[in-house]
Amino acid sequence: MVVVMNPGAPQDQIEAVVARIESVGSQAFVSHGVLRTIIGIVGDTQRCYELNLPAMPGVSTILRVSAPYKLVSSQAHAERSVIHIGPPGHRIPIGPDTFTLIAGPAAVESAEQAHSAARLAAAAGARVLRGGAYKPRMFPLSFQGMGEDGLKILADVREATGLLILTEAMSPADVTLVASYADMLQIGAANMQNYPLLDSVAGTGKPVLLKRGMQATIEEWLMAAEYLTQRGNPHVVLCERGIRTFETATSSTLDISAIPLVQQLSHLPVIADPSQACGRRDLVVPLARAAIAAGADGLLINVHPDPENAVVDGQHSLAGSELRELASAVRQLPPLLGRRPAEPLS
């Protein structure tokens, strides 16, 4: 971090800034130019963010040298991390070398629907079932999810199929309950910067799927992961699910470049959700292939036994031939990139 002083800032203002930097144990290196003085900071720059330096007299601007996220940064951890989900003896890795398909319905609608979707997901190569019991809906009268009854159905499906369960928590008040059923907790795009929710989810210690907010920059997304990690939960998998752009032909724009870029910036696994990104069944498989080719560590795919009659997100849920195409992409492409596909469930 570098503090740039106003042209001609007097010595007492410079000394006050230096004293404040040193008050938190960081070092200040003062360099006098012809017009301006700049002060380089070495040490715990995170604490320096809290010093309110921009508000001090004589300060013109603050320049950042290193990223504000530290623990999730690839500088903190040169090797890419593997996040394990599931109980001992039944753990599934997400990270480099392997490829993890997570698939299932947007929402749990009934026991029958969830069991059928789980069978389709497992047959397509999934080891983890996605399914929402608490759904973030734009319209207040839309189906909001089955709540705990939906979680119980997910637990039954896990028992019957061996699939692990990924499900979303939307409110801090529900986190303990959701975590008691889930193998992995989803933080949805709309909640990426819901800090009370991040606090509660971090407190469970369960692995987290952190979706990118639809208006979030990569840095904001990584700061949300940093927040979870600093609050004691480093088991974070990032999920690129499309961002808001000027284009309206798709529900959002899958940011393919974010996949390799975030893998350079951070050691955390990155998976892609082409279903939410495009919102159209016919584009899911091409985008899934693109995400695999870009190096994604896995995919999150909406699957439904009867998309036409799905209560939530039928328009981009796969079944039939499209699901078979997806399954063949997941079987064939990751090995070409040196990844081991998940072993089929026995």
Q: Which residues bind ligand PEP (CB under 6 A)?
A: 106, 132, 136, 188-190, 211, 241, 273, 276
Specify the residue, 135 or 339, whose C-beta has the smaller distance to ligand PEP: 135
Specify the residue, 226 or 273, whose C-beta has the smaller distance to ligand PEP: 273
User: How many Cα atoms sit within 13 Å of 308 on the Cβ side?
Assistant: 1
Rounded least distance, CB 276 to Mn ion, Å: 5
Rounded least distance, CB 313 to Mn ion, Å: 4
Partner interacting with residue 229 (select from ligand PEP, Mn ion, none; CB below 5-8 Å by kind): none
Report which DSSP code applies to 345: P
Report which DSSP code applies to 70: -
Tokens read off for 235: 């088991």
Sequence-distant (6+) residues with CB within 8 A of 69 are 219, 222, 223, 225, 226, 266
- Would you say 56 and 6 are in contact if contact means Cβ atoms under 8 Å apart? no
Given the DSSP bridges, would you call strands 37-42 and 27-32 parallel, antiparallel or unpaired? antiparallel
Specify the residue, 74 or 315, whose C-beta has the smaller distance to Mn ion: 315
Residues in the site for Mn ion, rule: CB under 5 A?
313
Partner interacting with residue 188 (select from Mn ion, ligand PEP, none; CB below 5-8 Å by kind): ligand PEP
Partner interacting with residue 241 (select from ligand PEP, Mn ion, none; CB below 5-8 Å by kind): ligand PEP
**The three-state (H, E, C) secondary structure of 29-43, written as one string:** EEEECCCCEEEEEEC
Rounded least distance, CB 10 to ligand PEP, Å: 52
Partner interacting with residue 132 (select from Mn ion, ligand PEP, none; CB below 5-8 Å by kind): ligand PEP
Rounded least distance, CB 34 to ligand PEP, Å: 52
Sequence-distant (6+) residues with CB within 8 A of 141 are none
Rounded least distance, CB 310 to ligand PEP, Å: 12
